[in-house]
Chains A and B, each alone.
Chain A
Amino acid sequence: MTLQERGVDLPPERRPGVPMEKTPPRPLAHGEHSLPPVSSSLLPPRGVSGILRRKAYRVPGHRPAHWMMLLLADRIEVMEFKLRRLLRWLLLPAAALFLLRVVRR
């Protein structure tokens, strides 16, 4: 950027966010009609953390309890995940051992 280019956006009309809100309102796409809301179906709540998350979303966002429950659920979910992973690792040798015994008999 050269020194001459400094201040190139000084006039307010060159600033995309001035005024902050566009008036009159004008849709950005789809003409005048709006599309239905979208959401994500990924990673639905499950386990103990899921119970807590469902409970949290019944409390409005302006109450600290909403966020505290979510943060607690995050920590619980990590523990649940680690436990599941450990069990999976234990299950493999257990199954192998069981098969070995069956074959030996």
Chain B
Amino acid sequence: MRAVVYRGPYDVEVAKKKDPAIEHPADAILQVTRAAICGSDLHLLHGLVPDTRVGSTFGHEFTGIVEEVGPAVRALKKGDRVVVPFNIACGACFYCSRNLTACCENSNPNSDVVGGCFGYSHTTGGYDGGQAQYVRVPYADVGPMKIPDDMEDEQVLFLSDILPTGYQAAEMGEIKGGEVVVVFGAGPVGLFTAKSAWLLGAGRVIVVDHVEYRLDFARRYAGVETVNFKKVDDIVMYLKEICGGRGPDVCVDAVGMEAEGSTPHRLLGLKLKMEAGAATVIGWCIDTVRKGGNVSIIGVYGPPWNFVPVGTAMNKGLTLRMNQCNVKRYMPHLLKHIREGRIDAKAIITHRFPLRQAKEAYRIFSDKRDGCVKCVLLPQA
């Protein structure tokens, strides 16, 4: 088969690779029909995630058609169309049975930090991802959700990650009705966080970024106010000022480890590797949110540590919530929102490429060129 293959930092190519095979009785093999490039794939591409091995295939947002199932698989059969959560989860361990599938203890037995994920380095289990013609899906009875016959793959593709991730980010903000919510990051996750904040009852939603076309998109797509942090003197003071002096009730970090906006963080985190990426946005969230407010962190950070103002968080009495998204528990609920027209997830796709042009797709997405919000690869084209 052909697959996107990692060759080193800033270097991927499309190459021939051995077809995946059933390795465990509960595995399935999918023929991939759509595979998106996620903002967090860029952290892998940029060499920031430990144990990203040369030869690995990225891609944790995909849909596909079941090609083959292992002898223990009951819920799927050949020909089923499915969308697959990025978490690999056994469905029965201590965590899965509490619906914390991101923390599954059977899908990444080498680690007690994180469960298994598709295409996200050997730190999360070393499974190949879906940016390929075929992919192996472990625990196939647990994660994959059948796509309703009347729906297209692209309508539900983002149930695999960014839509539930955005929803969970807003949900962790513990919105009770009427709150002011600031979302840092106008990328795909930030957009879905903003949409979800409205669904959860926010009174005002403000999205912060520095990429003007993405802020335009956020205004149109999510009906939010926007702020370009490069156009104000001090983003923390500015946000406090426009939020009645105290600051917003909820701040969400939908950016993660490659944030712009702080030279010291970029130097220490991205150049010198003295912290796990630039934790600029966590600092902004803690400094901006009102006392007693909530900070929700959904942006990805690597181990082992980051420089964040914990003392300020403690003194302000903040609640900090964070987790990889437990995708499975959100799928049916968000499918309903898509079906009933409250969320048009497909509308954020700005670019589609055949798999053979994946290198170009990564370049455009990474450089934020050509008005790119979301890239989708077509592995069978």
* Nearest chain A residue, comparing its CB with the CB of B305: A64
Chain A residues whose C-beta falls within 8 Å of the C-beta of B84 in the assembled complex: none
- Check A35–B54 contact: CB distance below 8 A: no
Residue A78 interfacial (CB < 8 Å): yes
Chain A residues whose C-beta falls within 8 Å of the C-beta of B329 in the assembled complex: 16-17, 22
Contact with B along A10-40 (1 / 0, CB 8 A): 1000111110111101111110111111111
- Check B51–A73 contact: CB distance below 8 A: yes
The total of chain B residues at the interface (CB under 8 A) is 79
Residue A55 interfacial (CB < 8 Å): no
- Residues of chain B from 322 to 362 with CB closer than 8 A to chain A in the complex: 326, 328-330, 332-333, 342-343
Q: Report how far A82 CA is from B52 CA in the complex, Å.
A: 16
- Residues of chain B from 4 to 60 with CB closer than 8 A to chain A in the complex: 7-9, 23-27, 47, 50-56
- Check A82–B8 contact: CB distance below 8 A: yes
Contact with A along B163-202 (1 / 0, CB 8 A): 0000010011001110000000000000000011011111
- Check B200–A28 contact: CB distance below 8 A: no
- Check A29–B47 contact: CB distance below 8 A: no
Determine which of B23, B126, B199, B201 lies in contact with A1 in the assembled complex, contact meaning CB atoms within 8 Å: B199
- Check B50–A43 contact: CB distance below 8 A: no
- Check B198–A6 contact: CB distance below 8 A: yes
Chain A residues whose C-beta falls within 8 Å of the C-beta of B1 in the assembled complex: none
Contact with A along B102-113 (1 / 0, CB 8 A): 000111111111
- Check B51–A28 contact: CB distance below 8 A: no
The DSSP consensus for interface residues of chain B is loop
Q: Report how far A33 CA is from B25 CA in the complex, Å.
A: 14
- Check A35–B92 contact: CB distance below 8 A: yes
Q: Report how far A99 CA is from B273 CA in the complex, Å.
A: 49
Determine which of B53, B116, B123, B199 lies in contact with A5 in the assembled complex, contact meaning CB atoms within 8 Å: B199
- Check B326–A39 contact: CB distance below 8 A: no
Q: Which residue, A36, A42, A64, A67, has most C-beta atoms of chain B within 10 A?
A: A42
CB-CB under 8 A for A16 and B72, given A6-B198, A28-B92, A37-B107: no
- Check A74–B138 contact: CB distance below 8 A: no
Residue B303 interfacial (CB < 8 Å): yes
Q: Report how far A62 CA is from B201 CA in the complex, Å.
A: 39
Q: Which residue, B72, B98, B100, has most C-beta atoms of chain A within 10 A?
A: B98
Residue B62 interfacial (CB < 8 Å): no
* Nearest chain A residue, comparing its CB with the CB of B116: A38
Chain A residues whose C-beta falls within 8 Å of the C-beta of B97 in the assembled complex: 22, 25-28
CB-CB under 8 A for A42 and B50, given A10-B177, A29-B92: no
- Check B26–A35 contact: CB distance below 8 A: yes
A30 to chain B minimum Cβ distance, whole angstroms, is: 5
- Check B303–A53 contact: CB distance below 8 A: no
Residue A102 interfacial (CB < 8 Å): no
Residue A7 interfacial (CB < 8 Å): yes
- Check A22–B99 contact: CB distance below 8 A: yes
Residue B89 interfacial (CB < 8 Å): yes
Q: Report how far A53 CA is from B72 CA in the complex, Å.
A: 33
A68 to chain B minimum Cβ distance, whole angstroms, is: 8
Could you show 14 A-B contacts with beta carbons less than 8 Å apart? Answer: A1-B343, A9-B200, A10-B176, A10-B201, A28-B89, A28-B91, A34-B91, A35-B106, A37-B106, A42-B127, A53-B122, A61-B113, A67-B50, A70-B51
Shortest Cβ-Cβ A-B pairs, 7 listed: A34-B92, A78-B8, A25-B97, A28-B91, A10-B201, A70-B50, A7-B201
Interface residues of B, Cβ cutoff 8 Å to A: 7-9, 23-27, 47, 50-56, 72, 75, 88-94, 96-101, 105-113, 116, 122-123, 125-128, 138-139, 141-142, 168, 171-172, 175-177, 195-196, 198-202, 223, 273, 276, 302-305, 326, 328-330, 332-333, 342-343
Interface residues of A, Cβ cutoff 8 Å to B: 1, 5-10, 14-18, 20-23, 25-30, 32-43, 53, 56-57, 61-64, 66-67, 70-71, 73-75, 77-78, 80-82
